[in-house]
Amino acid sequence: MWRELRNRKLLVMLTLSTLFIAANWLTFIYAVTTGQVLQASLGYFINPLVNVLLGVLFLHERLRPRQTLSIGLALVGVLMLTAIAGGVPWVALALAFTFALYALMRKLMPVDGLVSLTVETLIMAPLALAYLGYHAAATGHGPLGLRTVGLLILSGPIRVESSAR
């Protein structure tokens, strides 16, 4: 992991992937808390189409005729759902593109998944802690109790340890 942290180009790529996944999470949380669950669901229907588009554009993948037909049919279905929803589904598009760009960045990085996840967490941690501090200062108390914060902090290492077995 320390070798990856010293590689400037890789660190920039990891920072970008962190920003994409953070934007995805925040958009999803926004969608759920504002009652836009249908848009969130639509975003995850659109995501595979965006993945294919990015694969063709950036990874130079070629689609066979049946794949092109399948993608076309899926696109028609998504366009129909969008028309029924009435308007541009900005939340859905944001979810689809942020997750697809995150996946593309991870695909292009020559780094182990556990290492990249650790570095992304290290990049995101100061921002999350700053938010918690801001929230605590603004409201006079934290959004979560000390016990809950402790359990959340420990959930990452415990999950990593249990999956390594």
Cβ proximity of 95 and 22 under 8 Å: no
Q: What is the pTM of this model?
A: 0.79
H-run or E-run covering 145: none
Tell me how many helices (H) and strands (E) the chain has.
Answer: 7, 0
Q: Between these two residues, 4 and 119, which has the higher pLDDT value?
A: 119
Ordered alpha helix ranges (H), 59-141: 65-85, 90-108, 113-139
> What are the structural domain ranges in the chain?
1-110, 112-165
Give the pLDDT confidence score for residue 101 in this predicted structure: 97
CA dist 30 and 98 (Å) reads 14
